[in-house]
Amino acid sequence: MLHPTAIVHPGAEIGKNAEIGPYCIVGEHASIGARSILQAHVVVNGWTQIGDDCQLYPFSTVGAASQDRKYAGERAFTRIGNRTILREYVSIQRATGRDELTAVGDDCLLLAYVHIAHNCILGNGVTMSNLAQLAGHVNVGDYVTIGGQTGIHQFTRVGRHAMVGGMSKLTKDVPPFFLVEGNPCQPYGLNSVGLRRAAFPVEQRQEIKHFYKLLYDPKLNVSQAIEAMKAEVRTDAGREIIVFLEAPSERGVLK
């Protein structure tokens, strides 16, 4: 279903039963998945792939050139997973660097005015509230929740099932399953509601809580906390925290 006012390049790929609404623009290298809906005034350009069953609300833009000063027009990609919803004025920009990628996973919900900058990678099931903003090269794990009007610094990592409260300024990595908020951002325990909703077993929730206390024990630095965790770890959730803390980091862990 193609509205007569929409402009769709002949080279674009439009999936079965997709809908391209009034005044939308779809560029030459774009691919729109089956049953996805571009409601009105949506712009999809660059080397962009949008999955099946997505909904793009008015004035959202996907695949625009990176705002990075280093971007020089090279081919770079943008990918949106299946069943993801982009509300009004969401902007997701292509990567910087030849054949590099900006990606948003399946089943994500990005509310109005969310911005995803170049080279960001979002996992599945991510929720970002109104006006949340990611600078370049941010990595967000599966099922993370980011509150409204939150800004996240370049190269920051947010672990799986973590939550960043609204109106926060985040400049350090957030381990999986933890809750942080504020300006400057501070840890406030576990994302307990999210863990219960995801049906994490009690044993895992207990170990996550224990590892949180180890990481933020004022008598231990991060290396000492990791060694203490390794000596006691029993669950996959605990191992995930250790792997996250030991992974290379541009920003360091919120401490």
Residue 134 lies in a domain: yes
- Whether residue 173 sits in one domain with residue 86: yes
pLDDT band at 10 (very low <50, low <70, confident <90, very high): very high
- Written in H, E and C, the secondary structure of 28-61 is CCCEECCCCEECCCCEECCEEEECCCCEECCCCE
Residues 241 and 178: their CA atoms lie apart, in Å, by 10
pLDDT band at 19 (very low <50, low <70, confident <90, very high): very high
**pLDDT for position 139:** 98
- Whether residue 115 sits in one domain with residue 200: no
- Whether residue 210 sits in one domain with residue 132: no
**pLDDT for position 242:** 98
- Whether residue 200 sits in one domain with residue 183: no
Residue 50 lies in a domain: yes
- Whether residue 230 sits in one domain with residue 106: no
Q: Could you give the residue ranges of the DSSP H alpha helices within the chain?
A: 192-197, 202-215, 222-232, 236-246
Residue 252 lies in a domain: no
Task: For residue 51, give both structure tokens.
Answer: 């999955």
Point out the domain boundary residue: 173, 190, 207: 190
Whole-structure pTM value: 0.97
**pLDDT digits over 38-66, tens only?**
999 999 999 999 999 999 999 999 999 99
Point out the domain boundary residue: 190, 216, 237: 190
- Whether residue 207 sits in one domain with residue 82: no
- Whether residue 30 sits in one domain with residue 133: yes
- Whether residue 79 sits in one domain with residue 39: yes
**pLDDT for position 128:** 99
Distance (Å) of CA 248 to CA 33, 140, 155, 195: 35, 15, 11, 26
DSSP state, residue 253: B
- Domain interval for residue 233: 196-246
- Whether residue 65 sits in one domain with residue 15: yes
